[in-house]
Each structure stands twice: as C-alpha cells, then as structure tokens.
Amino acid sequence: MSNVISSNADLQLDQNTKDAISRLLVCAAHSIDNNLLENWPQCFMDNATYKVLTRADFDLGRKVGVWFCDSKAMLVDRVNSIRSVNVFEPHVYRHILGTSEVTQYKDKKYSAQTNYVVIRTMYDGDMAIFSAGRYVDEIMIENGTALFQSRTVVTDSVRYDTMVALPL
C-alpha cells in the first residue's frame, strides 16, 4: 500500500501531511463537541480568519456572514463571551465529518474542503440536524502541526432556527 494519496490529478500528499490535516479537523470538531471550547482557538494561526456563511452568500463572494473573526484573539474572545456573557438554551453539538479533499497547495498553504453535518442535542434530549454544509479551509503545516490560516463554514441552508451560539 502506497503512502502517497492523490486528491486530484496534479496534487499528491504524503501520509504525514494527510494525517496532520486530518488531526486538525478532528481536533476542531472534538473541541466543540466535547465542550472544550478553550482548545478550539488553538487550531488556528494567530492571524487566522473564521467565517460562517450561507451557500448563497459564499457563491456571491460575500465576505461576512453569521460569524466573522479575523484573528485567534477574536476567537478566544468569542469563547470567553460564550462562557461568561452569552445567554442561550443549553445544548451540545456532534459533528459528523466527511473525508477531506485537498484541492491545492500554493504559497505554503493547503486548500481543503470537507463536508459536515452538525446534530444539535438540547438539554431535554431533543435532537435535530442543526447545520449541514462544507468547510473551506486554508491550512498551514509547520513542524508536523497543521493549523487553520482560514476556515469558512459554508452552510447549505440560508436559514437558522436559532442564533448560532457555538462555533460550527
């Protein structure tokens, strides 16, 4: 079995790169799903961006959507706000991630897309699919550790049934 995978005709990744990207995606989801929100910003570079956009807004090239943070410091501030300021009905998310496709390597950044589904469970046990869509990521790898340079969450739906209190 080969250690080289091909995401498209021109791009081949060694297994260490693929594993680093996979660990990053899983770490980000597990930080949210397991209420370890303080760990979530550690998945990002200091000057990273994080956005949540609807598919329609993304397709139109809009830059700002439901969430917009343009640094790791803003992500940390957002987590602090979730913990101490925001008031919302208790709930948890559970991510189901698809296989990532790395589509490009340019300027020391890997471009990747990953499908996701987030199931929201309310305190009373009621469960629903809260969001489905794809992550559009720019990822840097330094010393074997992958970090997001940017993460754009592209939701398939243009509607939200409640405020997006937790990161997707």
Q: What is the CA radius of gyration of the chain?
A: 16
Cβ contact 119:128 at 8 Å: yes
pLDDT higher than 90, residue 110: yes
Distance of CA 120 to the CA centre of its chain: 16
Q: What is the pTM of this model?
A: 0.88
CB proximity list for 86: less than 8 A, separation 6 or greater = 165
pLDDT higher than 50, residue 6: no
How confident is the prediction for the chain on average, in pLDDT? 89
Domains, the chain, ordered by start: 4-155 (3.10.450.50)
Residue range 92-108: mean pLDDT, rounded: 94
- Give whole-number Cα distances, 96 to 6, 66, 88, 121, 151, in Å: 23, 21, 23, 14, 17
The C-alpha atoms of residue 157 and residue 134 are separated, in whole angstroms, by 11
**For the chain, what percent of residues have pLDDT higher than 90?**
71
pLDDT higher than 80, residue 32: yes
What would the pLDDT profile of 48-91 be if each residue is shown by its tens digit? 999 999 999 999 998 878 889 999 999 999 999 888 887 777 88
Helices vs strands, H then E, count in the chain: 3, 9
pLDDT higher than 70, residue 157: yes
